[in-house]
Copies of this chain bind each other. A is one copy, B any other.
Amino acid sequence: MSLARARVLGRPALAVSRARCFATSSVRASAGPFYAGEPSGPQVKTTIPGPKSQKLLQELDTVFDTRSLNMICDFTKSHGNYLSDPDGNVLLDVFAQIASIPLGYNNPELLKIASSPEMASGIVNRPALGSFPSHDWADLLKTGLLRAAPKGLDQVFTAMAGSDANETAFKAAFMYRRQVERGGPEVDFTAEELASVMDNKAPGAAQLSILSFKTGFHGRLLGSLSTTRSKAIHKVDIPAFDWPQATFPQLKYPLEENVAENARIEQASLDEVEHLITSWHLPPAAVVVEPIQSEGGDNHASPEFFQKLRALTKKHNVLLIVDEVQTGVGATGKFWAHDHWNLQDPPDLVTFSKKAQAAGFYFGNPGLRPNKPYRQFNTWMGDPVRALLFRGIINEIEKHDLVNHTAKVGNYLFESLEGLARKYPEHFQNLRGKDRGTFIAFDSPKRDEILKKAKEFGVNMGGSGANAVRLRPMLVFQKHHADILLETLEKVVKSI
């Protein structure tokens, strides 16, 4: 599709340039770093936390809950893939602020943007975007967020973080569903609806639900938490909506040896989805799903599963919300993880945050704009500061072809991990993420010990689910970083 043709179709013209630029090949997998100034390797000088970190931790704890603290960081001394702490320790970071740093610490190009007058204005003159947008907001959206828009989606609603990105997407789905049930956008609310909703009652408060999957994670605010099914500790004591959950396929590994069994598992999940859609006492307005369940333990399903899920939701007029908060922006070797599915019909809504640094949801169907103003609204509705940064991130991803780069480094890393899994099968179980860039995980009965030891050997890694190690390097993670990671993993498992 040419740029001119894209303009005629009303899509942001630059959207196509992404696809084109991202398709060129890269030879940087084994070359020097993308940005100068990165350390040549980890340096561990003290236990972690070291004495300085322990003092700072005690100080912080007087005013701020520190029990989920992993380590105190010194970002001023961190560079690229390397995270430093106040004790002078320098770790190769493959957790990246819970999968949310896209291009390395103190990325020089992003620092330029962060130091620009445009950015300073965005910080100081924060607009109420829904009512008082800046003259350049349309341009910033079109040259930024919307250039990265998933195929088939050309509208955006901006939010603050993953949780409210998902909840505002849920709201869009509820309003759309009720609009369809009413007979269209021009049909007004009844007096009874308007009165009852003020009392949180039907018919004004919709008797609808969002269907999510077991072991899925979609955030921790009260609506998103009702769809989150990762761990009880995330949910206990918090009121929840009586919404349905289907079983997410629990595939057997290696995939090649379990083809028939996995197909059966996926079909059973789809059957359960269909049953819930047609029978749940609060009908689902949407199904929300992660392309790879991340917090829940890196659970994968096949493209065929998602194609059938799309068909199933279409068949029953239920919207499909793809939660790309953790999977989006390149780490799976495609810009969006759902690009791997080759869908005929795109998802109805795609939510994003984390590595985008900005957050919100994309959509295409104009019917997903509510029929009246102020229905989907809040004071800030996002942050131009983060929209400016995402534009810079997209530019750098294009310039260095980082999505294809990540696909290649990911393949190298995955193959090498297969080697380690053959050598140490007890520590590298259910290796997954083949052809999914660096979005790789494995299970280990000694997971917590592995994470702790890895830090002692100079690598910061994260866990997920019950016993998974999830690798979440940045998009500037290269072959030489992969080699350090692999050597460290071998040292770790040998030592325990």
Q: Which residues of A approach B to under 8 Å, CB–CB?
A: 10, 12, 52-53, 56, 59-60, 62-65, 67-76, 78, 83, 85-86, 97-98, 100-101, 105-107, 110-111, 114-115, 117, 119-121, 123-128, 130-135, 137-138, 141-142, 146, 154-157, 160-164, 167-168, 170-171, 174-175, 177-179, 189, 193-195, 197-201, 204-209, 214, 219-224, 226, 229, 232-243, 245, 282, 353-354, 357, 369-370, 372-380, 385, 389
Residues of B within 8 A of A239 (CB): 174, 205-209, 223, 241, 282
How near does chain B come to A184, taking the closest CB pair, in angstroms? Answer: 14
How near does chain B come to A13, taking the closest CB pair, in angstroms? Answer: 11
Residues of B within 8 A of A100 (CB): 126, 128, 379-380
Given known pairs A63-B138, A141-B63, the reply for A127 and B222 (CB within 8 Å) is no
Residues of B within 8 A of A245 (CB): 199-200
- What are the nearest 8 A-B pairs in CB distance? A222-B223, A67-B373, A200-B240, A60-B138, A114-B120, A75-B125, A160-B160, A114-B123
The residue in chain B whose Cβ has the minimal distance to the Cβ of A12 is B63
Residues of B within 8 A of A224 (CB): 222
Which of A67, A74, A221 is the most central at the interface, judged by chain B CB atoms within 10 Å of its CB? A221
Q: Quick one: which of B64, B83, B86, B127 contacts A155, CB cutoff 8 A?
A: B64
Contact yes or no, B121 A237, CB < 8 A: no
Count of chain copies: 2
Contact yes or no, B237 A10, CB < 8 A: no
The residue in chain B whose Cβ has the minimal distance to the Cβ of A171 is B238
Contact yes or no, A375 B207, CB < 8 A: no
Contact yes or no, A97 B127, CB < 8 A: yes
Q: What are 16 A-to-B residue pairs whose CB atoms are below 8 Å?
A: A56-B138, A60-B133, A63-B154, A71-B131, A73-B134, A86-B135, A111-B121, A114-B124, A160-B161, A170-B222, A178-B237, A197-B238, A204-B235, A206-B239, A221-B222, A233-B375
How near does chain B come to A153, taking the closest CB pair, in angstroms? Answer: 11
Residues of B within 8 A of A206 (CB): 237-239
Given known pairs A74-B135, A132-B70, A221-B221, the reply for A237 and B146 (CB within 8 Å) is no
Residues of B within 8 A of A133 (CB): 60, 64, 69, 72-73
Known: A195-B232, A354-B379. 17 other contacts (CB 8 A): A56-B135, A60-B138, A63-B155, A65-B370, A68-B130, A68-B377, A73-B127, A97-B128, A98-B128, A114-B121, A197-B237, A200-B243, A220-B377, A222-B241, A223-B223, A239-B241, A239-B282
Which of A100, A194, A241, A357 is the most central at the interface, judged by chain B CB atoms within 10 Å of its CB? A241
Residues of B within 8 A of A189 (CB): 232, 236
The residue in chain B whose Cβ has the minimal distance to the Cβ of A109 is B124
Given known pairs A133-B60, A198-B229, the reply for A219 and B378 (CB within 8 Å) is yes
Contact yes or no, B73 A141, CB < 8 A: no
The residue in chain B whose Cβ has the minimal distance to the Cβ of A160 is B160
Q: In the bound complex, how far is the Cα of B154 from the Cα of A300, in angstroms?
A: 44
Residues of B within 8 A of A223 (CB): 221-223, 239
Given known pairs A63-B138, A119-B114, A222-B167, the reply for A131 and B69 (CB within 8 Å) is yes
Contact yes or no, B135 A374, CB < 8 A: no
Given known pairs A65-B157, A133-B72, A222-B223, the reply for A205 and B238 (CB within 8 Å) is yes
Q: In the bound complex, how far is the Cα of B66 from the Cα of A376, in angstroms?
A: 11
Q: In the bound complex, how far is the Cα of B61 from the Cα of A154, in angstroms?
A: 12
Q: Quick one: which of B53, B85, B156 contacts A63, CB cutoff 8 A?
A: B156
Contact yes or no, B124 A106, CB < 8 A: yes
Residues of B within 8 A of A64 (CB): 133, 137-138, 141, 155-157
The residue in chain B whose Cβ has the minimal distance to the Cβ of A72 is B135
How near does chain B come to A237, taking the closest CB pair, in angstroms? Answer: 4
The residue in chain B whose Cβ has the minimal distance to the Cβ of A125 is B75
Q: In the bound complex, how far is the Cα of B207 from the Cα of A198, in angstroms?
A: 21
Q: In the bound complex, how far is the Cα of B194 from the Cα of A376, in angstroms?
A: 34
